Amino acid sequence: MLIVQKYGGTSVGTLERIDSVAQRVKAKKDEGNALVVVVSAMSGETNKLIEFAEHFSKNPNAREMDMLLSAGERVTSSLLAIALIELGCPAIAFSGRQAGMLTDNFHTKAKIEHIDPKPMQDALKEGKVVVVAGFQGINEFGDVTTLGRGGSDLSAVAIAGALNADVCEIYTDVDGVYTTDPRIEPKAKKLDKISYDEMLELASLGAKVLQNRSVELAKKLNINLVTKSSFNNNEGTLITGEKKMEGAIISGIALDKNQARVTVRNVDDKPGVAAKIFKELSDKEINVDMIIQNVGHDGNANLGFTVPQNELHKALDALKDLGDNFSVESDSDIVKVSIVGIGMKSHSGIASLAFSTLAKEGINIQMISTSEIRISVIVEAKYGELAVRVLHDAYELYK
């Protein structure tokens, strides 16, 4: 079998952990498999490098940021290759460039455009384990790019696609995908299987166990994606194209702490105004999420929306650039709680149970948005984890 494995930050967080990963990899190789192993930086390393950069600049140059951030993964990939060779297992470490990973030019959130599989295939033919530094590639100018936070998951899935691997295994510090973050709700249940669509919603709504773009790509390429723990040998969670025909209505609850709310007051209540505001934001690559517009008075309306917290400054600057005479307020002290399930499509009363459950706890809902398979609410940050737990109970997800 050709297996692509990815080990996240905690799985390679110490030298002992890297040693234990090397032993796991060698054992798989000794069973006769071909392996490509994608690694993250040691846990906390990427955040540390960001803090270093922020010591010098509030808005560090994006190209230089990528040079800096890609270093974390370079360290773990070479250390793992050294450890493997020492165990008598032939191995070679590749940077993103050496692994043939070509991206577009959007530094710090680049998209993969193409992977040249030849260097990896050649090394595999020589019987080597290929260890790839995740989260990075190069652009057409030969500059290093990175793929956005959590991007090593995406590297692994893309490589699995390019090499036509039999399976892509994502190793992390929990046993798989749970009904909600097991660190928030210890009663959360591990799922044996989850559909690409539900996983994509959960990941996009804050469940960082898988990066959302990696799930999107796995769905597109129909890749066998499995999430497992690198700390034990328990069965993980299979992310699959199979749709559940029956069973749970709700598959999980996600909490997104990286949200901020922007309110724009006194916008002209006439056609084209929202278009102008949101075009400005999208031109600046700001991801706008929930949007509400209040009924206007005297030709004016209020517009509210959410953006990722780390894009708030950029959003406020963009609105300033518009130079209109509306007033802008923002609030970072909020979180988004989302309930996800394909079964929602065919069941009523799902939303009202969420609202009454939150009301019983005295948790005020600031914004609501729904789709066929999810309900999201914005609440005050201090209630986020409580909201997750009471909703998990209300939908009996522990069962």
- Residues engaged in binding ligand ADP (CB under 6 A): 8-11, 40, 43, 150, 172-174, 177-178, 180-183, 202, 207-209, 252
Residue by residue, DSSP assigns 179-207 as: SS-TTT-TT--B-SEEEHHHHHHHHHTT-
The answer to whether the annotation marks 183 as part of a ligand binding site is: yes
Interaction of residue 151 with ligand ASP, rule CB under 6 A:
yes
Write down how long the chain is. Answer: 399
Strand-pair partners of 380:
334
Q: Is 137 in the site for ligand ASP (CB under 6 A)?
A: no
Asked if 135 touches ligand ASP (CB under 6 A), the answer is: yes
Say if CB 41 and CB 53 are below 8 A apart: no
State which residue, 258 or 300, has the beta carbon closest to ligand ADP.
258
Compute the least distance from the CB of residue 202 to ligand ADP, in Å.
6
Nearest to 236 by CA among 173, 179, 177: 177
Which of 72, 100, 150, 384 touches Mg ion (CB under 5 A)? 150
Q: Using the minimum distance from each CB to ligand ASP, give the nearer residue, 65 or 319.
A: 65
Tell me: is residue 208 an annotated ligand-binding position.
yes
Q: Does 206 bind Mg ion (CB under 5 A)?
A: no
C-alpha dist (Å) from residue 97 to 45, 137, 164, 319, 359: 21, 5, 20, 37, 52
Q: Is 46 annotated as ligand-binding?
A: yes
Check the annotation: does 6 bind a ligand: yes
172 is annotated as contributing to ligand binding: yes
Question: What ranges in the chain are assigned the alpha helix state H?
Answer: 15-30, 45-56, 62-86, 118-125, 152-163, 196-204, 212-221, 273-283, 312-322, 350-360, 384-394
CB 206 within 8 A of CB 338: yes
At residue 344, the 3 state secondary structure works out as: helix
- List, in order, residues 6 or more apart from 33 with CB less than 8 Å away: 1, 2, 3
Q: Which is nearer to Mg ion, 9 or 341 (CB)?
A: 9
Of the candidate residues 78, 145, 152, 227, the single one contacting ligand ASP (CB under 6 A): 152
For Mg ion, the nearest residue by Cβ is 150
Q: Which is nearer to ligand ADP, 9 or 304 (CB)?
A: 9
Shortest distance (Å) from residue 24 CB to Mg ion: 18
Does the footprint of ligand ASP cover residue 9 (CB under 6 A)? yes
Nearest CB to ligand ASP, comparing residues 134 and 137: 134
